[in-house]
Chains A and B, each alone.
Chain A
Amino acid sequence: MSNIAFNRLQRECKEVVTNSEISETGIMIEILNENLTEIKGHIRGPPDTPYAGGMFDLDIKIPDQYPFSPPSVKFATKIWHPNVSSQTGVICLDILKDQWAASLTLRTVLLSIQALMCTAEPKDPQDAVVAKQYMDKPQVFKATAEYWTLKFAKGTLPVNADYQARVDKLKDMGVREEEAISVLSCNNWDLNRATVYIFS
């Protein structure tokens, strides 16, 4: 990694850690290794969204050419969102690709991702299944996203008993919980279709 990158990352880390906004904005970074190539990001689920109350972790990898190439950022915590892959956590965000500019920082990246959590862009989806649900069945989408927040992001909302019962049914058939949640979510919580999908 070049000197520019190293100096800048040190500053950036300081900026995010010492910045007094942190308690308000709900973003944080954590350094994983000394040469600053791997960083953990944390975003608190924005209030008034299905992600409220959850804490989402992100894996940030810094390329050699940073800051002239964008960092690679993906969700480590599973999240149900049209612009994030429900399988891999890959994020579809323009500033992480061709709209990246060297003047952007980890702070602006995390804030942009947080903004994306508030306002999804279903027209520019990463996960087509989630996006379709978001467009066609907004209520189901909201409930699913809340359920995922609770299950994977240590959310504090009361559990959706109906969804939990269906997940438990699949678990009784020997399906792993994570897979059960994922398949049910993709099938709009239709237990029959989910069962057929898993066992056929």
Chain B
Amino acid sequence: MDDEDMSCTSGDDYGGYGDEDYYNEADVDAADDVEVTPTHSEEAEYECLTVSQVERVFLDGMNQLTARIPVNDKCARTLLEANQWDVERVVKLYRQDRTDLFRRSHIDARPEPKRKLSATSGVKAKGYCTVCAMEGHAELPHLACGHCFCEHCWKSHVESRLSEGVASRIECMESNCEVYAPQEFVLVIIKSSPALKQKYDRFLLRDMVNSHPHLKFCVGNDCQVIIRSTEAKPKRVTCLACHTSSCVRCGADYHAPTSCDTIRQWMTKCADDSETANYISAHTKDCPQCHSCIEKAGGCNHIQCTRCRHHFCWMCFGDWKSHGSEYYECSRYKENPSVAAEANHVKARRALEKYLHYFERFENHSKSLKMEEELRDKIRKKIDDKVNEHNGTWIDWQYLHKSVSLLTKCRYTLQYTYPFAYYLTGSPRKNLFEYQQAQLEKEVEELAWAVERADGTARGALEAHMHRAEHKRQTLLHDFFF
């Protein structure tokens, strides 16, 4: 019964394909090769680096800089870290205004030459540290700003900052002093504690990698690899060590044709069901500069991001500096006349319906992908059985395996067309997108149908399906992603 069903379906399809599929024409004599040659690659150009290789990358940058301007290695590192490792930019800023560059890079906040001073004015006893309020310290280390504190207090300060996850931005303990403690200073302070040193090294590496626009940690669990890529588009990288694939730009699951911003928005929205996500959306916002998630703990709307130290307004997300006297601008509702008349709950309901439409499809493809993993196992077993029965060789049956891989690939892209469509605003472009999406949807389902029922009899039909689906996928990516 099943067999009849199968051959019948395949037969029908086969007939149909012969008449109407012109895509396959170029392929007729090379039935084995169902790959559609893509015009652009979805894979980013990248290399996987180890920690020591990354140190070399930093060292190269520092050497380039020290060759151009008269600063030492450590200073070069800090300058580059504060300026996205852009040597040209640092050189330019250095030539424009050296003092300003050093101030902005938190190397020395003061225009005057270095001086030693106690943290508070007025005469204090010798060796007095204002933080622990104790006298008689033999040594009072200080940063470039000259604010002296005892070693023990420095250590507690570093420990306290490290517990907050701050490493490259450990500031001087004096109030209003913006000088950051450089690596060599911190290492001396914590030299007696291997645990702190280990923590510091780890956080510092993280900060350095994060400050470099071309470096990203591999997102795989416990994977130490750092991926280096200059790719501007959200293409795919696959770690050579742990084989985890992710988007080269944002580190999330690869999400073509959707952009990184859109997928972040979408994922937050999708997670809405869970309590945590509800809490996050109700109580937190993302820093407009570095996108860290920030929870507002006090009433004040002037927020400073603890990670990137950006000052912004909680209400309007504007830079706090430019905010100034126009504060009450952000209390004004900028009305959109076309939707204002609509009652709020109607709007909310409509928005929910729209969202659910896209979410159900996104989620459904995700589930299908999981089930097709099982299908892959079944097919693997089927191939083994056939080979064991001396029914063809392993190589003969590889097309079945290939067909599941291709199905997964196409369905994966199809899944990620839904967030893209959700955020696409009405335009001819949207119409075109939805048309192509519908085409891909149709081909993927037909391919899935064919793959699930695939047997020795209909290889040609199956390959025609594969070819068509991949072609539709390529067309869509070509028009909306590359």
Chain A residues with CB under 8 Å of chain B are: 2, 4, 7-8, 11-12, 65, 67-69, 85, 90, 92, 94-95, 97-104, 108, 123-127, 135
Cα–Cα, bound, A124→B171 (Å): 24
Please judge, given known A-B contacts A7-B134, A8-B131, A99-B176, whether A2 and B156 are in contact too, CB under 8 Å.
yes
Residues of chain B lying within 8 A (CB to CB) of residue A8: 131-133
One of A2, A7, A90, A101 near B175 (C-beta < 8 A): A101
| Cβ-defined contact, A4 with B306, below 8 A | no
**Minimum distance in angstroms from B233 CB to a CB of chain A:** 36
Residues of chain B lying within 8 A (CB to CB) of residue A68: 156-157, 159-161
Residues of chain B lying within 8 A (CB to CB) of residue A95: 175
Does B173 interact with chain A (Cβ within 8 Å)? yes
Cα–Cα, bound, A135→B175 (Å): 30
Cα–Cα, bound, A93→B177 (Å): 17
Please judge, given known A-B contacts A4-B153, A95-B175, A99-B175, whether A124 and B131 are in contact too, CB under 8 Å.
no
Q: Which 9 A-B pairs have the closest CB atoms?
A: A68-B160, A101-B175, A92-B300, A11-B133, A102-B173, A103-B119, A98-B304, A102-B131, A8-B133
Cα–Cα, bound, A65→B161 (Å): 10
One of B153, B299, B327 near A102 (C-beta < 8 A): B153
Residues of chain A lying within 8 A (CB to CB) of residue B132: 4, 7-8
| Cβ-defined contact, A65 with B160, below 8 A | yes
A-B contact pairs, 18 of them (CB 8 A): A4-B131, A7-B134, A8-B131, A12-B133, A68-B157, A68-B159, A90-B299, A97-B304, A98-B306, A101-B171, A101-B173, A102-B131, A103-B173, A123-B323, A123-B325, A125-B301, A126-B298, A126-B299
Please judge, given known A-B contacts A2-B156, A4-B156, whether A85 and B304 are in contact too, CB under 8 Å.
no
Residues of chain A lying within 8 A (CB to CB) of residue B304: 97-98
Does B149 interact with chain A (Cβ within 8 Å)? yes
Does B324 interact with chain A (Cβ within 8 Å)? yes
| Cβ-defined contact, B298 with A69, below 8 A | no
| Cβ-defined contact, B300 with A102, below 8 A | no
Cα–Cα, bound, A198→B168 (Å): 52
| Cβ-defined contact, A102 with B298, below 8 A | no
| Cβ-defined contact, B299 with A92, below 8 A | yes
Cα–Cα, bound, A124→B328 (Å): 11
Cα–Cα, bound, A104→B147 (Å): 13
Residues of chain A lying within 8 A (CB to CB) of residue B323: 123
Does B130 interact with chain A (Cβ within 8 Å)? yes
Residues of chain A lying within 8 A (CB to CB) of residue B325: 123
One of B156, B159, B176, B324 near A123 (C-beta < 8 A): B324
The closest CB in chain A to the CB of B152 belongs to: A4
| Cβ-defined contact, B175 with A103, below 8 A | yes
**Minimum distance in angstroms from B127 CB to a CB of chain A:** 15
The closest CB in chain A to the CB of B158 belongs to: A68
| Cβ-defined contact, A103 with B131, below 8 A | yes
Cα–Cα, bound, A123→B318 (Å): 14
The closest CB in chain A to the CB of B160 belongs to: A68
Cα–Cα, bound, A173→B130 (Å): 56
Best-surrounded residue of A68, A94, A104, A127 (most CB of chain B within 10 A): A68
**Minimum distance in angstroms from B129 CB to a CB of chain A:** 9
B62-90 contacts to A (CB < 8 Å): none
| Cβ-defined contact, A69 with B160, below 8 A | yes
Q: Given contacts A7-B134, A101-B174, A123-B323, list 15 more A-B pairs with CB under 8 A.
A: A2-B156, A8-B131, A85-B299, A92-B298, A92-B299, A95-B175, A98-B304, A99-B175, A101-B176, A102-B149, A103-B131, A123-B324, A124-B301, A126-B299, A135-B328
Does B120 interact with chain A (Cβ within 8 Å)? yes
Cα–Cα, bound, A67→B132 (Å): 8
**Minimum distance in angstroms from B199 CB to a CB of chain A:** 16
**Minimum distance in angstroms from A73 CB to a CB of chain B:** 12
Cα–Cα, bound, A95→B298 (Å): 14
One of B134, B171, B175 near A104 (C-beta < 8 A): B175
| Cβ-defined contact, B133 with A103, below 8 A | no
The closest CB in chain A to the CB of B120 belongs to: A103
Cα–Cα, bound, A90→B171 (Å): 26
Cα–Cα, bound, A98→B149 (Å): 20
